[in-house]
Structure 1
Amino acid sequence: MARLRHAPHIGLLIYPHAQLAAVHGLTDLFGVAARLTRERLRTEDSVLRVSHLGHDMAGDEISCLFDTQAGREGEPDIVILPPSLGDPPGGDAIAPLVAWLRARHAGGTALASVCAGAFLLAETGLLSGRTATTHWIYAEALADRFPQIRVDADKLLIDDGDIITAGGLMAWTDLGLKLVDRLLGPTAMIETARFLLVDPPGREQRYYSAFSPRLTHGDAAVLKVQHWLQANGTRGMTVGAMAVQAGLEERTFLRRFSAATGLRPIEYCQHLRVGKARAMLEGTNKPIDQIGWDVGYEDPASFRKLFLKLTGLSPGDYRRRFGATRMSVSRSPRSDE
């Protein structure tokens, strides 16, 4: 195996009353995943880096408290906000954390929360206009405190690319496996779940990976458009509108977007749409043609063809494999193909 240029870096943020059991549990889960991956690939190279982040002794700045690669520099690729054992975080005490999280996200770091950690994430404003989950007992409080968030406590995990929220207190195991799948691949995720005797996420793919947008490319103008698309959707989206959002001439935008993300803008939007469609197929009873329309496709045949191309399964096969529900309304013979 070729030497890795950059081992993915996961940071665990320790805030007041954060559940340390989740912090250490995730550290162990990622450690197992890294060891099993190195053994399978027969390499001594680092494949995953985990750090604990929190206030320094003076309480003024966020610093590294622990690092599996001590002495290494570099911002995390993903920061996780663990559950809280006290009241949901809020108030002046977390203001420095909120500013720090906003800065990391603006620089391309993905953010993830578990349980009441969603309140800290919501304080950043980054969940506004998005769907998020938390522990069912906190769902009403989160919706009341942040009315601009669509709270869906029926879902255990919501992956929005640059933002991931997980539900219950122990949902850190689901989030951990989700991130192993994203960073090390589905084989590593299954190996880790089997070793720890933990069920894999119930509707997690095994033979193909979910779209994970590239966010650490360093092009601020392109990153701005990526966050904008994630928050506002892609229905009716044009390259011209994206270029305006980026503040670039259209030809320059096309070149920089492709270089940064590895995809043309239209391909990127297709991946986002199919990602939204997969979530609907997993968790709703909506007819497939309606899902296609909802994510931006007026032609059902075009939607089905693209879905098959990007996932390897027809929408109907995907629902049969990963759906939490079954269609309870009558359908035409071809409605699930």
Structure 2
Amino acid sequence: MNRQPPLDIVLVAYPAAQKAALYGLTDLFNVADELSRKRLERAMPVLRVLSVAPDQITDHRSHGAEENGPLPTAPSVVIIPPSLTGPPASETVPDLLAWLRACHEGGSILAAVCAGTFLLAATGLLDGRPATTHWSAATRLQQAFPAIRIDPDRLLVDDGDILTVGGIMSWPDLGLRLIDRLFGPAAMLETARYLLIDPPRHDQRQYRHFVPNLTHGDRTILKVQHWLRTEPARNATVADMTLMSGLEERTFLRRFHKATSHTPLAYLQHLRVEKGRNLLETTTLPLDQIAWEVGYQDSGAFRKIFTRLMGQTPAGYRKRFSREPDASPAADRI
């Protein structure tokens, strides 16, 4: 009989950590352990889940865990859960940051969910590497840690020894990905089927909303941005935007990008797709009419741009997010 010791998964239980994630991940891994033991005909656990608070770590060889015995020196996985109010300020938990770095050096996989990425970023281990966080916090994370390659469109970034996940409630995606990594896809799918949850998702574009920057201080560009929200600007072109600004074209393009971080064309596309997704969610209008409402004469062009920016077709988006109980007939016409 296989007598290998269980793989240790440590959850960092900082004070504001989301309880749903702490308890939910514990349950998810315990289910995976039970199913794996049955499949392998093994009496001993294959997974052990521990929880540690920052104040229990006094040095790199901490001996304190909440309930299930001593904290391992280099656990298989360390997870920093999400938070609704944010993780502790990095300067208040130096021992935790040092311990995370020591775990990584010892071979541990490090993972963070949503706001937990800020704490992981403070270790310096994400510098020069891809990562994600909740789409609404991506700009703040990038400003705080400019060396990280932030991709706010991705829900889960698996960079081998470090994983980051975007959404507050995306910890099941992380849990299943880790089960896949540790025990293979069959164990992951078995756990997902048992818990009636979907296999890991990879994209958060359909959850992310376009929020234009209106506080850049350039009043000429702001005038154009406000105009684009009006009915006369529905079919606006970049030439129209330039004319509205009163600037020479090259000057307009430069100032617009500096103020909004987008080219005028990309800004228009984001603005129209944002309006289109609202119509898909709240109406049963066919795609041709929605395309016209947001400024496209060709519904095919709108469908192509929508799919590129949102990661799924208009029909798929409507099916998933429509608030209209009778939206299916219109969806069929998309």
Shorter-chain TM-score bucket reads: 0.5 to 0.7
Equivalent residues in 2 for 1:56-67, closer than 5 Å: 56=55, 60=58, 63-67=64-68
Aligned to 1:81: 80
Aligned to 1:201: 200
Q: Distance in 2 between matches of 1:195 and 1:48?
A: 17
- Three-state SS of the structure 2 residue aligned to 1:112 is strand
Percent identity of equivalent pairs: 52
* Cα distance change of structure 1 residues 182 and 122 upon mapping to structure 2, 3 Å threshold: same
Aligned to 2:37: 38
1:325 shift after superposition:
6.8
With 194-203 and 124-133 compared, the bigger mean Cα shift is at 194-203
Q: Deviations over 1:263-321 (max 9, x none)?
A: xxxxxxxxxxxxxxxxxxxxxxxxxxxxxxxxxxxxxxxxxxxxxxxxxxxxxxxxxxx
1:43 shift after superposition:
1.9
Aligned to 1:108: 107
1:7 shift after superposition:
1.9
CA contact (8 A) 2:117 2:132 kept: yes
Equivalent residues in 2 for 1:147-296, closer than 5 Å: 147-202=146-201
- Three-state SS of the structure 2 residue aligned to 1:79 is strand
Structure index of larger Rg = 2
Q: Distance in 1 between matches of 2:72 and 2:79?
A: 18
Does residue 1:135 correspond to 2:163, yes or no? no
Aligned to 1:5: 4
Q: Distance in 1 between matches of 2:46 and 2:72?
A: 16
One-letter amino acid of the structure 2 residue matched with residue 66 of structure 1? E
1:71 shift after superposition:
5.9
Q: 5+ unaligned residues in a row in structure 1: which ranges?
A: 205-323, 327-337
1:193 shift after superposition:
0.6
1:97 shift after superposition:
1.2
TM-score by length of 2: 0.57
One-letter amino acid of the structure 2 residue matched with residue 150 of structure 1? R
Q: Distance in 2 between matches of 1:80 and 1:203?
A: 18
Q: Deviations over 1:38-91 (max 9, x none)?
A: 11222212211111012457x746521122xx4685531110000022134424
Aligned to 2:96: 97
Q: Distance in 1 between matches of 2:72 and 2:41?
A: 26
Q: Distance in 1 between matches of 2:100 and 2:201?
A: 29
- Three-state SS of the structure 2 residue aligned to 1:199 is coil
Q: Distance in 2 between matches of 1:203 and 1:92?
A: 32
CA contact (8 A) 2:8 2:76 kept: yes
CA contact (8 A) 1:89 1:116 kept: no
CA contact (8 A) 2:74 2:107 kept: no
CA contact (8 A) 1:132 1:152 kept: yes
1:16 shift after superposition:
3.1
Q: Distance in 1 between matches of 2:195 and 2:110?
A: 25
Q: Distance in 1 between matches of 2:85 and 2:92?
A: 14
Equivalent residues in 2 for 1:324-335, closer than 5 Å: none
Please give the root-mean-square deviation of Cα atoms over the aligned residues, in Å: 2.2
Q: Distance in 2 between matches of 1:97 and 1:54?
A: 9
Q: Distance in 2 between matches of 1:192 and 1:143?
A: 35
Aligned to 1:27: 26
Aligned to 1:118: 117
Q: Distance in 2 between matches of 1:40 and 1:139?
A: 41
Q: Distance in 1 between matches of 2:71 and 2:100?
A: 20
Aligned to 1:242: none
With 116-125 and 48-57 compared, the bigger mean Cα shift is at 48-57
- The size of the alignment, in residue pairs, is 203
Tell me which stretches of 4 or more aligned residues in structure 1 moved more than 6 Å. none
Q: Distance in 2 between matches of 1:152 and 1:19?
A: 23
TM-score by length of 1: 0.56
One-letter amino acid of the structure 2 residue matched with residue 41 of structure 1? L
- Three-state SS of the structure 1 residue aligned to 2:128 is coil
* Cα distance change of structure 1 residues 161 and 31 upon mapping to structure 2, 3 Å threshold: same
Q: Distance in 2 between matches of 1:190 and 1:183?
A: 13
CA contact (8 A) 1:114 1:165 kept: yes
- Three-state SS of the structure 2 residue aligned to 1:158 is strand
One-letter amino acid of the structure 2 residue matched with residue 33 of structure 1? A
- Three-state SS of the structure 2 residue aligned to 1:65 is coil
